[in-house]
Amino acid sequence: MPVMHFHVRWPDASETRCYSPSSVVQEFFAPGQRYALGDFLQRSRDALAMASERVRARYGFACSQAMDQLAEIERIATRFTGTTDAEVTVVAFD
């Protein structure tokens, strides 16, 4: 199962390198694409849950690191919940 990282740029121009245990995140995000904050959060939840379930299917246990990454994304996103038209850009995959 290929580990992936995706880089995101937050509305304040800070960037985060995010972890996924599966390449499934490429089905939810496109490099260079901007997402409204709520849409980005939902896509992150869906992508990382699916990635964790792929780990469970293969190894018999969920990926806690994927859920930790989701928690970090949600924690960072709280800084922007009151910001009108907040967008998150997926910069790249590696």
- Indicate the number of domains in the chain: 1
Question: For the segment 27-42, what is each residue's pLDDT rounded down to a tens digit?
Answer: 999 999 999 999 999 9
Structure tokens at 72: 């970090």
Are 87 and 11 within 8 A, CB to CB?
yes
Global confidence as pTM: 0.94
Mean pLDDT over residues 46-60, rounded? Answer: 96
Give the closest residue to 41 by CA, choosing from 70, 16, 68, 15: 70
As a whole number, the mean pLDDT across the chain is: 96
pLDDT score, position 2: 86
Can you give the residue range of the structural domain that contains 68? 4-93
pLDDT at 1: 67
In angstroms, rounded to a whole number, what is the distance separating the alpha carbons of residues 94 and 78?
26
* Average pLDDT for 56-83: 96
Token pair listed for 51 = 């990635």
Nearest CA among 12, 3, 4 for reference residue 89: 12
